[in-house]
Structure 1
Amino acid sequence: MASPYLCPNCKTNRMRFNIIEQLPRSVRLDPQTGEVVAELAADQLDPFHQPYQGETYRVQCGVCGVIEREESFIKMAQHMQNQR
């Protein structure tokens, strides 16, 4: 987060953002009720249970509300900087 951001949607916001931390939980559910039967650590996953591979966090524009990968906000800021 040491890079400038620019919202790729509204293209005006450079200051107001929400950082959304994604904290995945690996769980096993009861197929009938949907209740959590077990919460699993990364080393407890069976071969059919893929570990989470997404981003650690995402960014939301504090003006228009769009949620994207951090890279989208950084690339838009770099693109607009190169336009000048």
Structure 2
Amino acid sequence: MATRYRCPNCRTNRSRFNIIEQNAYAVKLDPQTGQIIEKYEAGVNPGPFHKMYSGPERRLQCAVCGLNENEQTFIKFGEKQER
């Protein structure tokens, strides 16, 4: 199903967007060098002091004004205009 977007910042853009697919992965870094010590696979518990990413899978950026927000923000603002 197609979704209508509208930028809540510039309020005019309804057609030009950058869809950002987020691919987060958990790593443990060496604090002195910044090198990756360990990369955790999906489904593997990295330990009690490492919270796994729980943000959105997609973000949207308005290609007119540059606003970068959660996709739901653009969807909700697009629904407001329809009414």
Q: Under a length normalisation based on structure 2, what TM-score does the superposition of the two structures give?
A: 0.91
- Report the Cα offset of residue 8 of structure 1: 0.6
Residue equivalent to 1:62: 63
In the alignment, does 2:10 pair up with 1:10?
yes
> Considering only aligned residues, what root-mean-square deviation do their CA atoms show, in Å?
1.3
The alignment-based identity, stated in percent, is 50
- Name the CA distance, whole Å, in 1 between partners of 2:2 and 2:41: 31
Residue equivalent to 2:78: 77
Amino acid at match of 1:55: P
1:14-53 C-alpha deviation (Å, 9 max, x unpaired):
0010001111121010111111111111314112111110
- Name the CA distance, whole Å, in 2 between partners of 1:40 and 1:67: 28
Deviates more, 1:43-52 or 1:6-15: 43-52
Amino acid at match of 1:32: Q
- Name the CA distance, whole Å, in 1 between partners of 2:2 and 2:26: 30
Amino acid at match of 1:74: I
Unaligned runs of at least 5 residues, structure 1? none
- Size of the alignment, in residue pairs? 82
Q: Which has the higher helix share?
A: 1
> Does the residue aligned with 2:10 lie in a helix, a strand or coil?
coil
Residue equivalent to 2:48: 47
Moved over 2 A (4+): none
- Name the CA distance, whole Å, in 1 between partners of 2:24 and 2:73: 22
Q: Under a length normalisation based on structure 1, what TM-score does the superposition of the two structures give?
A: 0.90
